[in-house]
């Protein structure tokens, strides 16, 4: 899988490159709009990550040119501006997804994976993390064969964490997925729900699955060190 | 009427000046009339004296003093005509002196004798006990003697005319002043009507409707110039505020990229399992600060977006009561965590129009605020009701309350009641100003009342959706 990254902020570009390479993607980086367009024109990429504010050729123009030539390649837009109007305009111009800075890297990786998996997405109805089972059809949760009763929100939270075991989800990501944008900035609500979830999912069992990464967020996984 | 108002002051000045001018004019008129009347009277007396001198005194050498006196008495009968008449020779010999007049206005004997050696005729006014006497004196030479013929009349005649003049002035002057003042007052009032209109419009202009302008009356006068200058000033203010708003938006945008880098670097560091626990702690603390910084940047951006009116992006009718109930439900765990009861009392189907997500944020922020500042075991009450054309949303708590001096500021950006009580609660001081901006964008009003130690109440009043819209 080969990804083209067009981002003029050197540091951010390096950071994204590193994060993507850690996920075993091949990454080519371009630092301005024109070279970004030339690279997209010359090679077949599986995904283009495109910043909107670029020198020499702005992101919207690069997006337009790529779309003119190649209809298939998924394009993920990175932007510091998130006016709804602009968002709509870029989706119309052929963007597949849109990520507003500052974003959590976990979010970026998840979006990238989602875009690359597009097409036949196989999603098993039962998510398994260690001895935890989350049945997405019946919305039932079992741990070590024992059923756990959860409220709707607790279930939504657990299911979201279980979609990517081991990955750390930021509170903002959790709020956006489990609640909605109106709750932005109300990050303590996540802590309260995680605490409740823990008391049901972790407390009765010897091994703990929900992990707190201070300052980052929460993850669900088998190996618990802290 | 306000004694400091421009119209009052103008009219007062105008009236005082007018009175002074009228009094001066009246005095001058009075003096002129008196002078004219007296001069006229003296002229008549002088002519009479000449007549006496030419016809009677001239022949005194032939006829003798007694005959002259008899002739005068016979021809002029001064007593009957209330006149004073005296003929004196220059050696002091009295030829003739009239007796007391019929009206007893003067005593002839009390009139002093002028110096007898004057050779030219002259007029004088003698002030006597009974009144003034106007006397014309004509010297007349006959042979080696000079005779002084004095003819006088009481000034009472002129006094009567002058009294009429004074009476006319005394009545006419105040009437003229009153008419002039009333006219002036009406004129000033009319001239100042635009000032009133400008003032009222200027009152209405706040930072939210700076695009409005003052009315300009095309009269070409000072008021037109004033309103045009004020409008220019408002334009400059509008520009300045626009610039500052754009600055906030641009600055927030610019901060986002470095924040992303900062967060990304720290996150990738924090996930290194070989770090010492102290380092992990520090990284965690740094990440928390980055989150707070991001929160502030997001809040500022949200505010600047509301400022430019982006809230109208998704304008739909929806049920506010239902939205409030579900939001309260979603936040109930947050309240339960502090043993706070959230009581939601919503009247059925209250339809308003607006951006649903934004209005939800109003409810979320108000509830969050109430829960934050209510101690363990308290109650937060959420009420939605209908009040003459408005949907009213009340969020009341029995928490710590807000001191009265802080109440007018709670909706200002970055305002904190006091630093110690909210910083540890994680507030950036933007939540309530976001509430305020969203409400303003929706044509809603938000107000707060509070009793320190008893609790606070936030009330949002939003116009109900019109029937045609709510049925769609």
With beta carbons less than 8 A apart as the criterion, state whether B194 and B223 touch: yes
What pLDDT, on a 0 to 100 scale, did the predictor assign at position B471? Answer: 40
Q: How far is it, in rounded angstroms, from Cα B201 to Cα B194?
A: 10
- For residue A226, is it within any domain? no
Cβ(B53)–Cβ(B95) below 8 Å? no
Q: Which of A210-214, B107-111, B301-305 has the highest mean pLDDT?
A: A210-214
- Residues B385 and B251 both lie in one domain: no
Helices then strands, counting H and E runs in chain A, come out as: 8, 12
Q: Return the residue in B245, B248, B267 with the most chain A beta carbons within 10 A, the one to mutate for interface testing.
A: B267
Token duo for residue B283:
């990284």
Final residue before a domain boundary, out of A98, A116, A134: A116
Residue B435 has pLDDT above 70, yes or no: yes
Q: Return the pLDDT at A13.
A: 92
Based on the fold, state whether residues A171 and A142 are members of the same structural domain: yes
Examine the pLDDT at A153 and tell me if it is beyond 50.
yes
Asked if the structure places residue B439 within a domain, the reply is yes
Query: Residue B151 CB: number of other CB atoms within 10 A?
Result: 27
Residues A166-224 pLDDT 10s = 888 888 888 888 887 778 777 788 999 999 999 999 999 888 899 988 888 899 987 54
Task: Based on the fold, state whether residues B239 and B154 are members of the same structural domain.
Answer: no
Do A155 and A111 fall within a single domain? no
Q: Is residue B96 part of a domain?
A: yes
User: What is the residue range of B234's domain?
Assistant: 222-307
- Find the CB nearest A213 among B271, B298, B310: B271
From B160, B159, B139, select the one nearest B46 (Cα to Cα). Answer: B139
Both A98 and A182 in one domain: the answer is no
Q: Are residues A17 and A112 in the same domain?
A: yes
Task: Return the CATH number at A143.
Answer: 1.10.10.10
Check whether residue B23 and residue B136 sit in a common domain.
yes
Query: Do B258 and B131 share a structural domain?
Result: no
Q: Write out chain A residues lying below 8 Å of B280, CB-based.
A: 214
Tokens 């004019």 appear where? B25
pLDDT by residue (tens digit) across B351-375?
Answer: 998 888 888 989 999 999 899 889 9
User: For all residues of chain A together, what is the average pLDDT?
Assistant: 85
- From the list A179, A185, A216, the residue facing B299 with the nearest CB is A185
- ipTM for the complex shown: 0.76
Query: Is there a single domain that holds both residue A104 and residue A160?
Result: no
Question: Does any domain span residue B169?
Answer: no
Is residue B194 included in any domain, yes or no?
A: no
* B166, part of any domain: no
Do residues B121 and B264 share a domain? no
Overall average pLDDT of the A21-49 stretch: 92
In a domain, B197, yes or no: no
Question: pLDDT tens digits, residue range B222-273?
Answer: 888 888 898 999 899 888 888 887 788 788 778 888 888 888 888 888 877 7
Cβ contact (<8 Å) for A186 and B264?
no
Q: Are residues B228 and B262 in the same domain?
A: yes
Please count the structural domains in chain B.
Answer: 3
Asked if B101 reaches chain A (Cβ–Cβ under 8 Å), the answer is no
pLDDT band at residue B309 using 50, 70 and 90 as cut-offs: low
Spatial distance between the Cα atoms of B241 and A202, rounded to a whole number of angstroms: 53
SS3 content of chain A, % helix, strand, coil (to 5): 40, 20, 40
Instruction: Write down which residue in B123, B140, B161 finishes a domain.
Output: B161
Triad B22, B23, B27: Cα angle to 5°: 115
Q: Which residue has the higher pLDDT, B461 or B267?
A: B461
Kindly state whether residues A169 and A99 are assigned to the same domain. Answer: no
What pLDDT is recorded for position B419?
Answer: 59
CA distance A120 to chain B (A): 31
Residue B48 has pLDDT above 50, yes or no: yes
To test the contact with chain A by mutation, choose from B251, B252, B254, B291 the residue with the greatest count of A C-beta atoms within 10 A, namely B291
Q: How confident is the model at residue B106 (pLDDT cuts 50, 70, 90)?
A: confident
Q: Which of B288, B307, B326 is the last residue of a domain?
A: B307
Q: b/e string for A127-166 if b means 16 or more Cβ within 10 A?
A: bebbebbbeeeeeebebeeeebebeebbbbbbbbbbbbbe
Q: Is the pLDDT of residue B113 over 80?
A: yes
Is residue A31 within 8 angstroms of chain B, CB to CB? Answer: no
Assess if residue A187 is contained within a domain: yes
Distance CA(A161)–CA(A149), nearest Å, equals 17
Say if B275 is an interface residue toward chain A (CB within 8 Å): no
Residue finishing a domain among A116, A141, A175: A116
- Considering A87, A116, A145, which residue would you say is the last residue of a domain? A116
Long-range contacts made by residues A207-214, C-beta under 8 angstroms, separation at least 24? A207/A130, A207/A131, A209/A129, A209/A130, A209/A132, A210/A161, A213/A168, A213/B270, A213/B271, A213/B284, A214/B270, A214/B280, A214/B281, A214/B283, A214/B284, A214/B285, A214/B287, A214/B288
pLDDT of B449: 92
Q: Is the residue at B202 inside a domain? A: no
At A120 the pLDDT is 45
Looking at B290, B307, B324, which one is the last position of a domain?
A: B307
Which domain CATH number covers B382?
3.30.565.10
Specify the pTM: 0.64
**How many residue pairs from chains A and B have C-beta atoms closer than 8 A?**
119
Say whether A104 and B261 touch across the interface (CB within 8 A). Answer: no
Residues B352 and B283 in one domain: no
Task: Tell whether A225 lies on the interface with B, counting CB pairs under 8 A.
Answer: yes
User: Would you state the structure tokens that stand for residue B88, as one six-digit string?
Assistant: 């004196």
Residue-number span of the structural domain to which A11 is assigned: 2-116
Q: Are residues B301 and B325 in the same domain?
A: no
B257 contacts in chain A (CB < 8 Å)? 9, 12, 80, 101-102
**What residues have CB less than 8 Å from A191, skipping those under 6 apart?**
A171
- Percent with pLDDT over 70 in chain B: 94
Task: Tell whether the model's pLDDT for residue B472 goes beyond 70.
Answer: no
Cβ–Cβ below 8 Å for A84 and B310: yes
Task: Place B426 in a pLDDT band, splitting at 50, 70 and 90.
Answer: low
CATH code, B84: 3.30.450.20
Q: Do residues B272 and B319 share a domain?
A: no
How far is the C-alpha of B349 from the C-alpha of B328, rounded, in Å? 16
Interface test with B, best of A106, A154, A185 (most B CBs within 10 A): A185
CA distance A214 to chain B (A): 5
Q: Are A40 and A16 in contact (CB under 8 A)?
A: no
Q: Do B150 and B13 lie in a common domain?
A: yes
If asked whether residues A103 and A166 sit together in one domain, one would say no
Q: What is the pLDDT of residues B117-171, one digit of tens each?
A: 788 888 888 888 777 888 999 998 888 888 888 999 888 878 888 889 899 988 9
pLDDT value of residue A76: 93
pLDDT in tens, A82-101: 666 667 777 777 888 888 88
Q: Which of A9, A103, A182 sits opposite B360 (nearest CB)?
A: A182
Same domain for B333 and B463: yes
CATH code, domain carrying A48: 3.40.50.2300
Q: How many domains does chain A have?
A: 2
Q: Does residue B253 share a domain with residue B372? A: no
| Rounded Cα gap, residues B305 and B307, in angstroms | 5
**CA atoms of A221 and A167, how far apart (whole Å):** 8
Q: How many CB atoms lie within 10 A of CB A27?
A: 20
Q: Which helix (H) or strand (E) holds A174?
A: helix A171-178
The residue of chain A nearest to residue B268, with distances taken between CA atoms, is A19
């Amino acid at each position: 899988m080969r990804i083209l990254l067009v981002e003029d902020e050197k540091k951010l570009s390096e950071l994204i490159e590193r994060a993507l390479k850690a996920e075993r993607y091949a990454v080519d980086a371009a630092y301005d709009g024109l070279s970004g367009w030339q690279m997209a024109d010359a090679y077949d990429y599986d995904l283009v990550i495109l910043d909107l504010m670029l020198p020499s050729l702005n992101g919207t123009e690069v997006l337009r040119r790529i779309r003119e030539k190649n209809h298939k390649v998924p394009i993920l837009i990175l932007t510091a501006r998130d006016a709804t109007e602009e968002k709509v305009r870029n989706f119309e111009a052929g963007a597949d997804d849109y990520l507003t800075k500052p974003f959590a890297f976990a979010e970026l990786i998840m979006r990238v994976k989602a875009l690359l998996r597009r097409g036949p997405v196989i999603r098993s109805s039962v998510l398994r993390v260690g001895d935890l089972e989350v049945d997405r059809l019946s919305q039932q949760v079992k741990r070590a064969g024992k059923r756990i009763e959860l409220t709707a929100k607790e279930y939504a939270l657990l299911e979201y964490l279980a979609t990517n075991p081991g990955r750390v989800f930021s509170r903002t990501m959790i709020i956006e997925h489990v609640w909605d944008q109106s709750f932005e900035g109300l990050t303590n609500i996540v802590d309260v729900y995680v605490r409740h979830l823990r008391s049901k999912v972790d407390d009765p069992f010897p091994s703990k699955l929900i992990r707190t990464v201070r300052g980052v967020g929460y993850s669900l996984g088998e190996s618990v060190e802290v | 009427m306000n004694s400091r108002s421009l119209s009052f002051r103008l009219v007062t000045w105008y009236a005082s000046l007018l009175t002074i001018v009228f009094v001066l004019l009246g005095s001058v008129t009075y003096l002129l009339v008196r002078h004219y009347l007296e001069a006229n009277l003296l002229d008549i007396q002088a002519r009479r004296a000449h007549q006496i001198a030419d016809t009677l005194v001239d022949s005194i050498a032939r006829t003798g003093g007694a005959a002259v006196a008899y002739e005068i008495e016979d021809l002029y009968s001064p007593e009957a005509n209330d006149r004073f008449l005296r003929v004196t020779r220059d050696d002091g010999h009295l030829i003739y002196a009239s007796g007391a007049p019929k009206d007893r206005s003067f005593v002839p004997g009390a009139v002093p004798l002028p110096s007898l050696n004057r050779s030219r005729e002259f007029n004088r006014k003698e002030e006597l006990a009974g009144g003034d006497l106007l006397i014309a004196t004509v010297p007349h030479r006959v042979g080696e003697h000079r005779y002084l013929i004095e003819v006088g009349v009481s000034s009472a005649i002129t006094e009567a005319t002058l009294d009429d003049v004074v009476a006319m002035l005394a009545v006419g002057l105040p009437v003229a002043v009153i008419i002039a003042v009333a006219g002036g007052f009406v004129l000033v009032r009319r001239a100042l009507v635009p000032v009133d209109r400008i003032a009222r419009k200027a009152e209405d202009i706040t930072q939210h409707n700076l695009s409005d302008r003052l009315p300009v009356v095309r009269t070409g006068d000072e008021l037109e110039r004033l309103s045009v200058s004020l409008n220019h000033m408002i334009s400059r203010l509008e520009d300045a505020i626009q610039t500052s708003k754009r600055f906030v938006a641009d600055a927030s945008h610019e901060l986002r990229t470095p924040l992303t880098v900062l967060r990304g670097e720290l996150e990738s560091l924090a996930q290194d399992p070989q770090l010492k626990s102290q380092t992990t702690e520090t990284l965690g603390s740094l990440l928390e600060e980055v989150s707070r910084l991001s929160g502030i940047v997001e809040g500022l951006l949200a505010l600047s977006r509301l400022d430019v009116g982006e809230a109208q992006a998704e304008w739909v009718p929806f049920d506010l009561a239902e939205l409030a109930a579900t939001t309260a439900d979603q936040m109930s765990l947050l309240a339960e965590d502090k043993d706070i009861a959230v009581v939601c009392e919503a009247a059925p189907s209250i339809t308003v129009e607006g951006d649903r997500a934004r209005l939800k944020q109003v409810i979320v922020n108000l509830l969050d605020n109430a829960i934050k500042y209510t101690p363990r075991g308290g109650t937060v009450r959420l009420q939605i009701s209908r009040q003459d054309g408005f949907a009213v949303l009340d969020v009341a708590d029995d928490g710590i309350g807000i001191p009265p001096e802080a109440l007018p500021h709670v909706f200002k950006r970055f305002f904190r009641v006091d630093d110690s009580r909210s910083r540890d609660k994680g507030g950036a001081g933007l939540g309530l100003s976001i509430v305020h901006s969203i409400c303003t964008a929706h044509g809603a009003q938000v107000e707060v009342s509070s009793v320190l130690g008893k609790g606070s109440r936030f009330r949002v009043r939003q116009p109900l959706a019109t029937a045609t819209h709510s049925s769609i």
